Amino acid sequence: MPTQTHSNNTSKTYDAGDMVDAYSLAYEQMADTSVMLGAIANEFKRTKEYLSNVYNIPESCFNDLKRLIAISNTMIQESAEFNQAQEQKFEIEWEANKKAVSL
């Protein structure tokens, strides 16, 4: 015999203001990630120069890592731009909704 469970869970509703907060947080996280990747790229550059000068390791040995850093940077920038655009879009919607409610 099947048992019935009664759930008191109710669906949560989110408005444009909630979306502004979410995309704002996502943008800030991407900005922080960009700063971290910049530090990694600087350390990579210094290490690459040191290894090239001291141990005569050819530049080509570092191409894959250089490419991965560049790809990561592009992905981070695109994500940050997307999140910022979405934040602005929902900010406009949220402001319009607040005005409509106050009328």
**Per-residue confidence in pLDDT tens, the chain, 103 aa:** 555 666 677 888 999 999 999 999 999 999 999 999 999 999 999 999 999 999 999 999 999 999 999 999 999 999 999 999 999 999 999 999 999 988 7
Q: Which pTM does this prediction carry? A: 0.81
DSSP one-letter string for 24-87: HHHHHHHHHHHHHHHHHHHHHHHHHHHHHHHH---GGGGHHHHHHHHHHHHHHHHHHHHHHHHH
pLDDT at 62: 98
pLDDT value of residue 1: 53
pLDDT of residue 17: 96
